[in-house]
Amino acid sequence: MEPEIRARYTDAILHDALHRYGIAPDQIRLLDGFESYIYEYSRNGADFILRIGHSRRRTAGLIQGEVEWINYLAAGGAGVARAVLSEAGKLVEAIDDGRGGQFLATAFVKAPGCPAWEFGWTPALYEAYGRLIGRIHALSKQYTPSDPAIRRPDWDDPKNLDTLSWLPEDEPVFIEKAQQILAHLHTLPRDANSYGLIHQDAHSANFFVAEGNQITLFDFDDCVYGWYIYDIAMVVFYMVTNHPGPSDLMQSFWPCFWQGYCAENTLDRGWLSEIPWFLKLREIDLYAALLRSFGSTEQINDPWPARYMRDRKRRIAEDVPVVEFDFLAPA
């Protein structure tokens, strides 16, 4: 989170947000949050999530676009954590910070269940995962924002790719490789069957699983307009990253996931050949993001990022595939 946002956040801001959502101060619990303040709270026997972000990062219009789409997906039967109204009947509550900006509060139904790694991965859960992403994409094909002013950005909006600016200037190979990938992606068609509003970050840390392999996806903060195959590639990226046997994992994961996806949405198989391009884009983007957050590889003390950065520079420089797997091979 930006230090400037932390400096502006006060107890008065929090209590104002609680008042607007009818939340008792003794009913909240602070959770981990990377870009926003996240709280869990209970009301009338049900559990919810309160998120408080800042307009320096997302405008009220962009957040309105996010929650409107979420509730559209929920109404269409997708397993997503829907947004709930404030006491005043709003999906987004804006609270002035006294310095020309606003803290923006939104609330959501808490996803039932537990993380996938606690629930236990199985072929049936892989398939359910594919069905969820497929259902979201099928619904997105029919979605139009209620107001053009709340339209979410495209994947190549400068703010969405801003982490690439943190690539080391004294190592131009990384910048060149990022530019090559972006040049290729900009040649891809953006038709209604392949391009629409996507989650962009639908990895397993952003959903819970309940009995019967019922998945509920949350954290739509990064949703953008992009290719549906991009969304799929992000699923693959986080499944294999830091896994001890990524290719073996894909042998069991991919056929089930793709079968589930195709049961809910139609996507030309030719798009599967683009997955490696998107994997490389995310690999470089995450590399840059971790440099931005920690300053250097030597300063990383968190286990997951530390494992990710190990040998990453060489892998990017030498074009080592994120995972050795033929997505076009018959299942």
Structure-model confidence comparison of residues 5 and 134, the more confident one: 134
Q: Does the pLDDT of residue 268 top 90, yes or no? A: yes
Rounded Cα–Cα distance for residues 313 and 296 (Å): 12
Rounded Cα–Cα distance for residues 243 and 8 (Å): 39
**CATH value of 3-109 in 3.30.200.20, 3.10.20.740, 3.90.660.10, 3.40.30.10:** 3.30.200.20
Q: Output the pLDDT for position 320.
A: 97
Residue written as token pair 């076009």:
328
Average pLDDT, the chain: 95
* Whole-number percent of the chain with pLDDT over 90: 85
Residues ≥6 apart with Cβ < 8 Å to 84: 48, 107, 108, 109
CATH of domain 116-317: 3.90.1200.10
The tokens for 122 are 């199985």
Query: Hey, where are the domains in the chain?
Result: 3-109, 116-317
Q: Output the pLDDT for position 331.
A: 62
* 3-state secondary structure at position 301: coil
The model's pLDDT over 272-320, given as tens digits with 9 standing for 90+, comes to: 999 999 999 999 999 998 988 887 777 787 889 999 999 999 999 999 9
The closest alpha carbon to 83, from 94, 69, 96, 95, belongs to 69
Rounded Cα–Cα distance for residues 279 and 281 (Å): 5
What is the residue-wise DSSP string for 144-183? --SSGGGPPPBTT-TTTTGGGGGS-TT-HHHHHHHHHHHH
Give the pTM.
0.94
- Are residues 195 and 225 in contact, defined by beta-carbon separation less than 8 angstroms? yes
The model's pLDDT over 196-238, given as tens digits with 9 standing for 90+, comes to: 999 999 999 999 999 999 999 999 999 999 999 999 999 999 9
Give CB contacts under 8 A, 24+ apart, made by 28-36.
33/1, 34/1, 35/1, 35/221, 36/1, 36/221
CB count, 10 Å around CB of 96? Answer: 12
